Amino acid sequence: MSLNIENLTVYYQTLKGEVHALEDASFSLTDGEIMGLAGESGCGKTTLGTSLILLNGRMRYIRGTVLLDGQELPIWDNRGMDEFRFKQVSLIPQYAMSAMNPTRRIGKMVHELIEARHEDYNEIMPELKRRLDLVELPQEVLKLYPIELSGGMKQRMVMVLSTLLNPSLLIADEITSALDVSTQKAVVEMLAEFRDRKFVKSMIVITHDISILSQVADSIMVMYAGQLSEKAPTETIIRHARHPYTKLLISSLPKVGIKYSEEILHGIPGKPPLLLDPPIGCRFRDRCPVAYEKCTQVPPFLELDKDHFVACWKEFEEHA
Amino acid sequence: MRRYFLRKILIYLLTFFVAVTIDWMIPRFMPGDPVMNMLSKAGSMHAEAQEVMYGYLTSSFGLDLPVWQQYVNFWKALFHGDLGISILQFPKPVIDVIKSALPYDLLLLIPSILLSYYAGNKFGAYAARSKRMDNTLLPIGYILTATPYMWLGILLGWVFAIILNIFPISGAYSYALKPALSWTFIKSVLEHWFLPFMSLFIVQFGGWAIGMRNMIIYELEADYAHYLEALGAPRKLIRRYAYNNAQLPQLSGLALKLGVIVAGAMSTEIVFSYPGIGYLILMAIQNSDYYLLQGCFLFIIIGVLLANFIIDIVFVLVDPRTRLGMQGGAS
Amino acid sequence: MSEPKKKNEFLYFAMRNGKLKVGAVIVFIFVLIAIFGPKFARYPLNEFVAGGPNPPSADFYMGTTAYGQDVYAQFVYGLGTTFIVGIIGGGLATLLGMLVGFVGGYKGGWVDEVLNIITNIILVIPTFALLLIMVAYLKLRGVLIESIFIGLTSWPWAARAIRAQTFSLANREFVDLAKLSGMKTMKILFREIAPNMMSYLFMTFILQFGGAILTAATLDFIGLGPTQGVSLGLMMNWATNGSALLLGYWWWFVPPGIAITAVVGALYIMNVGLDEVFNPKLREM
Amino acid sequence: MRKVVLTILSLIMVASFVLIGCASTAADTPAAAAESTTAEEAAPVAEEAAMEEAAPAMVDYPRAETLYTMGKQWGPATSWNPLQQGSYAMGTIGLCYETLFLYNPLTDEYIPWIADSGDWVDDTTYQLKIKEGVTFSDGEALTADDVIFTLEMGKNFQSVYYSELWAWLDSVEKVDDYTITMMFTNPLYQEWANYLYSIAILPQHLWEGLTEEEAVVGANQPPVGSGPYMYESADEAKVAWVRNDSWWGIKGLGLEVAPKYIVDINNISNNAALGMVLQGQVDLDNNYLPGIASVINGGYGITTYYPDEPYMLSANTAWLVMNLTKAPMDDAAFRRAVSFAIKVEDIVSKDYGNIVVPANSTGLLPIWDQFVDQDVVDELGFSYDPDEAKAILAAAGYKDIDGDGFVEAPDGSTIALEIGCPNGWSDWMVAIQIISQNLKEVGINVEPVYPDYSALTAGLYGGDFDMVINNDAQMSNTVWSYYHFIFYHPIKEQMISGTGNYGRYENQEVFDLVDQLDATPITDVEGMKAIISQIQTIQLTDVPMIPLWYNGVWAQTDNTYWTNWPSSAEGAPKYVPATWNGYWNMGAVLMLTELEPVAAE
Amino acid sequence: MLKLSEITKTYKVGTFGGKSLYAVRKVSFDIKDGEVISLIGESGSGKSTIGRMILKLTSITSGSIEFNGQDISTIKKADLKDYYSHVQGVFQDPFSSCNPIFKADRIFEIMHEEFFPSMPREEWDEKLVEALHCVGLNPEHVQNKFPHQLSGGQLQRFLIARALLLDLKFLVADEIISMLDASTRIDVLNLLADLKSHGLSILFITHDLSLGYYISERAVILYKGTVVEMGETDKIYHTPLHPYTQMLMASVPHLDHKWEQKTTDLGGKVEDITEGCVYFSRCPLEGKGEQCRADIPPLVEVEPGHQVACCCFQK
């Protein structure tokens, strides 16, 4: 078990009160696993991802434990987390395009960052160059400023940089959404390659695009309104999803080969609840076609089949 | 790169042209008669001779050519470094008058600008570290930058020159000295320089401190700062980056502020009777010395343009973004 | 987490923002003094009511000048002038800046290019020197003309900032939509773009307001201020001519400077407060 | 970055120092001076420069041996040309160039200086003897030739300020090296007496051959004169003179000037001037310093001519100029009403703190008291009396028709006038505020305005003004100068400075009287009085201008380094302690011979 | 209905505008009544520029656009308003399409003011309610709200309703669902298809090939401002001819099967070719030669209703 999360709860502090962005998330990740984290915007997937590395100004740690390789991450302690960051747990942020200091040459920035983390830059240098080759970046990029790189190149540079110290866990947050399909494909394939080469042990790939995940992830976890809905191996999610939300979500995705004139797809009616004052029980209740009275209680996230976790009363009932 | 500078230079040239044209217009549209003013100070009781004198002087400043010709001549003379004769300091050429004032401006302006820029930025960055410091140190900055230069100057003069009597109150060096490259003289120059320098320094210092504080707060919220934080980079490194980046808008702010600083220097010079160009301008206005006014204005323009140009170059050196922008150009 | 933006949200932050409150209160107090102060003046402005200089007393709240004029009367009237200069000078500069910035940022192309060059030229020319010369042309000067001149020379940086803002707004889709609705350019500028910049324009105005006050004070002080009326800058000028400080009449020289510093400083502090109110990024400092 | 900044900074500092430091030689040998001086003069310039380079150690003026003055220069000195009456550097005439006589207005004495004696041989012939042994500072003797050369310069060059002398001077003849006779066609005794102490004698050997422009417009730096001081240096901030230890006067007059150096500092502002006075940097300050009374009693060691109010001697008359070409100022009754409405006492006490004194109705300075015809003044003179002012206005038909509290002209037109003084002249600004208040109290609507100096003078000279304060007529040896000024004729389009009749008062009768006065011998006091009485009758009836107060000879003297300043105290020297142009030769130079250094501890 | 003939858009670059950059280069196609055409391309392909040119938000450098036989480049004032009453657009970001400081309804108010100034309030309100119903919105739920109080999907419908208030003939839908969540985007897409069946022509601009397939009859593939392939959707999707189209198709992440081969195309530094095939430097074809570098291959019809611009299909 490389990552083990129990009851992780993180709220957002806002004027009107606390936004329950992540509620009692418990799941684990095995070594070498690439887990896709999917869900609509505002479902808490980014909150989950970033809380594992850096709670930003308005995020409040409420409860829960995070064990990485058996060690507990003090995610509530900004300073205490420092030693884990980069080395144990690393991040490719959503904003990879602007993640590098615009006024420093990239190599110099990497150098300064590495030294600041008490590593020997010269020692790392050969590995850095190998990895640049791997992502097909010329070594000259180190002498360039970020602005001189194209979007795809910056994306790759950040990928290399984030994984340079071989972290145990890598969080890749919406890294493909700004890219063209062709580049998207290359970047995603590279992530897998990084895993294969053991630059990182396990990975959480956050995206709203399930079809991307279907290509690269070993497992997919679906979130809805701050709660975990379902987690299962990729194939299972795509073909045999059990949570009504997952099912609806998958069925609403247009695919090449489906035409409006031949088959009309449908979205999920309604909209997600406000997390400022979330409904009690299953949060998908209002939009769920199969909801019943039991759903006023929070469904636990249970392993119904092997590696297949679901949080749905109806499913529990049927399974039982 | 070359194109960028070509464009810049073109704008500077255009600015220079417009400014010089305005400059040329000054004496032609000013009210009052400078020669008359010059003579009116004579207070002589022999008016007949004055009339003859008046004729003499007027013709020697002659403005009897057609306007366009005067304009062309003005440019011609300008390229020969001829700015005419000062009325106030007749018969000294304007260029000489300005030449003797210029070193004082350099002495006052450049150190005060550079040092206040440096110290103010440091101070602002320091204040931005925590809310507590921000709230205690920053109001000082606001008060300083809102202080009228001359008011502060007079207060400083009063405290340090009159009450404590440790600094002289006026002039550029002791009246007991003649200019010479000796230690006594340099010491005297520094003593006289200190108070006007301080009043310029203090006000500018406040401005820079605030500017830096505002900028660095933005920078600390920038994506790269968050990314570095996520990679566990020490705060020191992040602050250093933020500081360096925040300096860029500060630097372009410096270019914009030069005009204001020049104004501040003028009033400071007046307060401390510091014989720079600002003081000359006041004298020139009070005495309708067109030619001197023209000359001073021209020098200020050249100075500000030059400073702007230097800032532009420095900017290109420190900010890679401008360099890239140059290649793309504006669409 | 997109935060709902509401007007009362701004109000909420405004009420919570110490900088804004402190700044606004100080400015407000001075505005009150400027408006109601004259009603409490015991002596008419600039009349020679006392034999000579008097320190502050119950009779002369702020003492008298070397010539026996009531400093309080000068101060409260001068404060009014200062605000007028700020409003007219700062207002005019903001208006001009708006005009140039809006048109340049929205129209783009050669119009923008030309306006940009003009802005740059005025920006680079030391406007204060220009102001000195312009002012020197007038035989008699009033507060109004002084303010107008200040406004005429200090708009460029406002124009530059507003242009950048307009430029980014002009490329927003709601502007496209307005165009698709057949709205005319000016209507788009003032009904679609300008309302979005109100906070920004307001902040620009505040900075210009403070700047105009300082510029006027400098002009007044070096004797190129209004030849008529009274202002805080003129008070300093008179006090300096009367060697007030050297002769120990601090009550004549110190208050106008403090008032200017306080008003301008408070405006600046207010501005930072407003920035924090309007810019969510800065709120959590 | 930091290093770069520091390097630039230090470079600039050093460069500035070098520029400032080297400015000395540049300032002492300006191109302009070289251009306008002749070959003969070029030599001393070079010598001077060489001397300075040879003795670099001499950089300062020892405090104990130097007299620091202030109050004359309102800008850097740029001319040492005694022919440039208005702009020559402090002391050019008096310290460097000398006049034939001195005139001490306090004692009404003509003191032979270069001249040994001067007498009217007959009505039209004046014979002048000059002292033997008078030399210029370059060693050349000053002889009759130099005097004749100087006077004849006025004949040759129209733009020389005394050229008008030759309208009534026929010829100047040399009798011997030390004796000269002047033949007049129409001797104007008063004016001649004035010239005797105001024309500086120039060295013929240096000035000969100069063109008119060179002579009149040239900077004449460094000057070579016969006086007790020689040019030492000059820069933007000051002019320095050094004592000529081989001055002829040591033997010839038995006098020695005390200060080794005189350094005159440029004025900047009242505030800076007072600051320097308080710091003890200035020994003799000729600035108007408001509030000086409290300084004198403030333990700074500052004294003035009088220990009490008004502290200062009177130097000139400040009067209200009214534009007589405009209604209602063209009405004598109106002017007279104005004269009764102004409370000069308020100006004197509130504005000036009693350091000036109210003027006599005639405006004649105290030194001319004997010429005031008290009978005329008693009958026609005015004093503050608002009721009288209102009565005069009412009688002349000025009534408030529209009820705004201000009178309208007899023809019903509104009266709205402006009274002006230069912006920044704080004492006058306050004065016109008071006048405006006073006039409003009697129903005359006059607003104070403060245009800039040049705009104001342009209006004044061109006749485009309502009311203005002026004080151009200085104290002199003769009352005539005062009347010449206020009744200047003929009236011209531009009444430029020096023509005092800015209000454009036209009255041939009084013009003739003034001319007649000019032609009255200075010894004929009774004759003068008779004419003056007539003038005063007309003056007080017509009120072409209104004398207000006497501006002082602002003089603050510091006793820290030098004592025995002129003062009203018994036994103290009785000279006018002023460094202004025209005052050194009115006896101020003698003050220098009386000064005593305070022995250094 | 709408005919684009060789439209080109260039931008001046360089200090004095010495160089020009092609954003769109000689693009021609037409859209018939009641037809949906997908304009597909990656960022920088010029697809949005074409949409903006149709909407007259961007000027046309050369070429012409005809709407019902009338050249739109010169129309002004009243004619322009008339044009806008038939041709409207909806954009990518629904939030940015609403002025954030006003209530969302304001966009309707503007329409009322600008297009139907004389229509009485009641009549207008009826019309509005009808339009909202038409896009599947309950007026009570969406009226009198600020944009941020509505979801992206609702707002996008809102904006479509705005266009429907007019006598709409043609709609430019520029990436209108790419910012919506998966659960709602399909509904907006369905709405578009619905409108089409009522006779509306739509230019559907997208980078997502599956969306293009779902809704349109014909597709136009753009690369660097140039049309590389166009034709009936089925033909293009099932037998892409241009190597670029092929690459795009291969990159689509399908839910049901994994990517076939590893692509190494990272679109790194690409050589700028001004004369010649735009795809030259990335073209993997063995047969590419000097001719491709020198000449711009014209669009040729390889089969009925399927055109491609590649030198392989020239002869």
Size of interface A-C (CB pairs under 8 A): 12
Beta strands E62-67 and E2-13, pairing class: antiparallel
| Cα pseudo-dihedral C72, C74, C79, C84, rounded to 10 | 150
Q: Give the sign of the dihedral formed by CA E235, CA E238, CA E242, CA E247.
A: positive
D329 pLDDT more than 70: yes
- In terms of CA atoms, which chain C residue is nearest residue E54? C180
Over range D14-34, report the average pLDDT. Answer: 54
What whole-number distance in Å separates Cα of residue E182 and Cα of residue E188? 11
Distance CA C99, CA C80 (A): 28
Does C150 lie at the interface with E, CB-CB under 8 angstroms? no
D2 — pLDDT class (breaks 50, 70, 90): low
Closest CA to D362 of D231, D598, D546: D546
pLDDT at D153 over 80: yes
> What is the band of E69 on the pLDDT scale with cuts at 50, 70, 90?
confident
Higher model confidence: residue B67 or residue D460? D460
Residue C49 three-state SS: coil
Contacts of E259 in chain A (CB under 8 A): 185, 189, 215
User: pLDDT confidence of C31, banded at 50, 70, 90?
Assistant: very high
Residues D496-551 have pLDDT tens digits of 777 789 999 999 999 999 999 999 998 999 999 999 999 999 999 999 999 999 99
How many independent structural domains does chain E possess? 1
The per-type count for chain D, helices as H runs and strands as E runs, is 20, 21
CB contact under 8 A, A57 and C284: yes
State whether B331 and E14 contact (CB < 8 Å): no
Query: In this structure, what are the phi and psi dihedrals at residue A99, rounded to the nearest 5 degrees?
Result: -80, -15
Q: Which residues of D touch C (CB under 8 A)?
A: 269-271, 274-275, 278, 289-291, 294-295, 346, 349-351, 353, 423-424, 426, 430, 433-434, 437, 449-452, 455, 459
Instruction: Return the CATH fold of C6-282.
Output: MetI-like fold (1.10.3720)
Residue of B184 and B330 predicted with greater confidence:
B184
Q: What is the pLDDT of residue B174?
A: 84
What is the model's pLDDT at position E211?
85
* Mean pLDDT within C86-114: 89
User: How close does chain E come to A265, measured CA to CA in Å?
Assistant: 7
- Going by pLDDT thresholds of 50, 70 and 90, the confidence category of residue A216 is confident
CB-CB under 8 Å, D276 with B49: no
Using a CB–CB cut-off of 8 Å, the residues of C that contact D are 46-48, 51-53, 66-68, 136, 139-140, 223, 227-228, 237-238, 240-243, 245-249
Greater model confidence, B184 or D341? D341
pLDDT number for residue E265: 55
- In 3D space, the residue among A152, A134, A112 whose CA is nearest the CA of residue A194 turns out to be A134
Tell me the backbone φ, ψ of residue D241, rounded to 5 degrees: -115, 150
| Contact: B42, D213; criterion CB under 8 Å | no
What is the model's pLDDT at position C281? Answer: 60
Q: Pairing relation of β-strands D66-70 and D261-265?
A: parallel
Average pLDDT, chain E: 84
pLDDT greater than 80 at residue B294: yes
Mean pLDDT of chain C: 84
Longest CA pairwise span in chain C (Å): 74
Among the ranges given (A298-302, B46-50, B52-56, E74-78), the one the predictor scored with the smallest mean pLDDT:
B46-50
Among all chains, which residue has been given the structure tokens 């005919």? E3
Non-local CB neighbours of B308 within 8 Å, separated by 6+ positions? B12, B255, B258, C124
H-run or E-run covering B94: helix B94-127
In sequence order, what are the residues at sequence separation of 6 or more whose Cβ sits closer than 8 angstroms to the Cβ of residue B122? B212
- Is there a contact between D382 and D429 (Cβ–Cβ < 8 Å)? no
Are D20 and B172 within 8 A, CB to CB? Answer: yes
Interface pTM, i.e. ipTM = 0.81
Query: Domain range spanning residue E279?
Result: 31-58+72-86+166-253+261-313
Q: What is the pLDDT of residue B41?
A: 60
Beta pairing partners, E29: E4
Average pLDDT of span D374-397? 93
State how far the alpha carbon of D325 is from the alpha carbons of D450, D490, D528, E140, in Å: 22, 15, 30, 83
CATH for the stretch A3-95+169-180+200-254+267-319: 3.40.50.300
Q: Does residue E101 surpass a pLDDT of 90?
A: no
Neighbouring chains of D at 3+ CB pairs within 8 Å? B, C
Q: Do E251 and A152 touch (CB under 8 A)?
A: no
d(CA B33, CA B30): 9
Partners of A170 in the beta sheet? A90, A203
pLDDT for A186-198, tens place per residue?
A: 888 888 889 898 8
Q: Is A233 helix (H, G, I), strand (E, B) or coil?
A: strand
Q: How many angstroms separate the CA atoms of C51 and C47, rounded?
A: 11
Choice between E315 and C162, residue whose per-residue pLDDT is larger: C162
Q: Quick one: pLDDT at residue D204?
A: 94
What is the spatial distance between Cα D106 and Cα D89, in angstroms, rounded to a whole number? 25
Of the candidate ranges A105-119, B174-188, D226-240, the one whose mean pLDDT is the lowest? B174-188
Query: Residue D546: what are its φ and ψ, rounded to 5°?
Result: -120, 110
Is residue B130 pLDDT above 80, yes or no? Answer: no
- Greater pLDDT, B128 or A171: A171
Nearest to D202 by CA among D116, D114, D261: D114
The pLDDT of residue D58: 43
pLDDT of residue B283: 81
- Taking a C-beta distance cutoff of 8 angstroms, is the pair B4, C113 a contact? no
Is D64 in a helix, a strand, or coil?
A: helix
Q: What is the mean predicted confidence (pLDDT) over C66-75?
A: 88
Q: What is the pTM of this model?
A: 0.83
Residues of C in contact with B11 (CB under 8 A): 117, 120-121
**Residues near A122 by Cβ (< 8 Å), separated by ≥ 6?**
none
Question: If you count them, how many residues does chain B have?
Answer: 331
Q: What does the alpha-carbon distance between residue D262 and residue D307 come to, in Å, rounded to a whole number?
A: 25
Of B11, B134, B214, the CB nearest to C120: B11
pLDDT in tens, D407-426: 999 998 999 999 999 877 88
Judged by CB atoms within 8 Å, which residues 118-147 of E form the interface with A? Answer: none
DSSP codes joined into one string, E97-161 = TS-TTS-TTHHHHHHHHHH-TTS-HHHHHHHHHHHHHHTT--HHHHTT--GGGS-HHHHHHHHHH
Task: Tell whether D464 lies on the interface with B, counting CB pairs under 8 A.
Answer: no
Q: What is the mean pLDDT of residues D26-40?
A: 38
Q: Say what the pLDDT of residue A271 is.
A: 80
- Here the CATH number for the domain that contains residue E209 is 3.40.50.300
Residues of chain B positioned with their CB less than 8 A from the CB of E17 = 329
Distance CA E142, CA E159 (A): 12
Averaged pLDDT score across all residues of chain B: 81
Nearest chain B residue to D272, by CA: B170
Contact E15 B7 (CB under 8 A): yes
| C-alpha gyration radius of chain A | 20
Is residue D398 within 8 Å of D346, Cβ to Cβ? no
> What distance in Å separates the CA atoms of residue D275 and residue B289, rounded to the nearest whole number?
28
pLDDT of residue D229: 95
Per-residue pLDDT at D113 exceeds 60: yes
Q: Does B145 touch chain C (CB under 8 A)?
A: yes
Instruction: Name residue C92's amino acid.
Output: L
Question: Closest to C180 (Cβ–Cβ): which among E55, E98, E100?
Answer: E55
Test D350 with C51 for CB contact under 8 angstroms: yes
Instruction: Encode pLDDT of C201-222 as tens digits.
Output: 888 898 899 999 998 998 888 7
Confidence of residue E13 (pLDDT cuts 50, 70, 90): low
pLDDT of D25: 44
Which domains does chain B carry? 2-30+98-330 (1.10.3720), 32-82 (no CATH)
**Secondary structure class of B63 (helix, strand, coil):** coil
Name which residue leads in pLDDT, B205 or E282.
B205
pLDDT at D1: 56
Provide mean pLDDT across the span A203-232: 90
Nearest CA-CA distance, residue A42 and chain C, Å: 6
What domains lie within chain D, and their CATH numbers?
Answer: 8-73+227-310+555-597 (3.40.190.10), 101-217 (3.90.76.10), 314-552 (3.10.105.10)
Name every residue whose Cβ is closer than 8 Å to that of residue E243 and which is 6 or more positions away in sequence.
E279, E283, E284, E285, E310
- Closest listed residue to residue C150, CA positions, set C220, C215, C82, C80: C215
Q: What is the Cα–Cα distance from E277 to A90, expressed in whole angstroms?
A: 42
pLDDT tens per residue across span E175-192: 888 888 877 888 888 888
pLDDT at D414: 92
Burial, B65: exposed, middle or buried (Cβ in 10 Å; 0-12, 13-18, 19+)? exposed
